[in-house]
Amino acid sequence: MTRVGGGYGWQEGRRVVPAYALTQGRTRPVGFELALETVVTSTELATRYESALQMEWQAIVALAARPISVAEIGAGLHLPIGVARVLVSELAEAGYLTVSLPIPVDENGRPGREILERLLDGLRAR
């Protein structure tokens, strides 16, 4: 992934494919919503069939050879986080990534302190 002329996308010669084209215009992940801190890891299936995958999927599978967050994938590929979420969710749905979701509640079933602090930080940043 490269950032060319202010836009995101794959550079093929002189042509740049916009990032939204990688998701075919989809803005929502398939299945469930992935948090920024969701950790993914490539599966054996991904390793076996990596060369047959689309170029952007290959890049994600290579990054996920070790546990990596959705945010790190977006940053590593210079993609907007929404695009990274969609691509990661597609790979997970297809069985190429194992997803480890963050635990959103404490032992009493309430949101944990860390989650509430992240929410508050996000609200303050606006």
| Domain 26-125 grouped into CATH 1.10.10 | yes
Residues 56-82 have a mean pLDDT of 91
Mean pLDDT of the chain: 78
The answer to whether residue 25 scores a pLDDT higher than 90 is: no
Q: Which residues of 82-119 are buried (b: 16+ CB within 10 A; e: fewer)?
A: bbbbbbbbbbbeeebbebeeeeeeeeeeeeeeebeebe
Question: Ramachandran region of residue 25, left (φ > 0), alpha (ψ -120 to 50) or beta?
Answer: left
Average pLDDT over residues 23-27: 58
Residue 6 confidence (pLDDT) above 50: no
Determine which of 28-32, 86-90, 106-110, 117-121 has the lowest per-residue pLDDT on average: 28-32
Residue 80: pLDDT above 50? yes
**What mean pLDDT do residues 9-33 have?**
58
Q: What is the pLDDT of residue 3?
A: 44
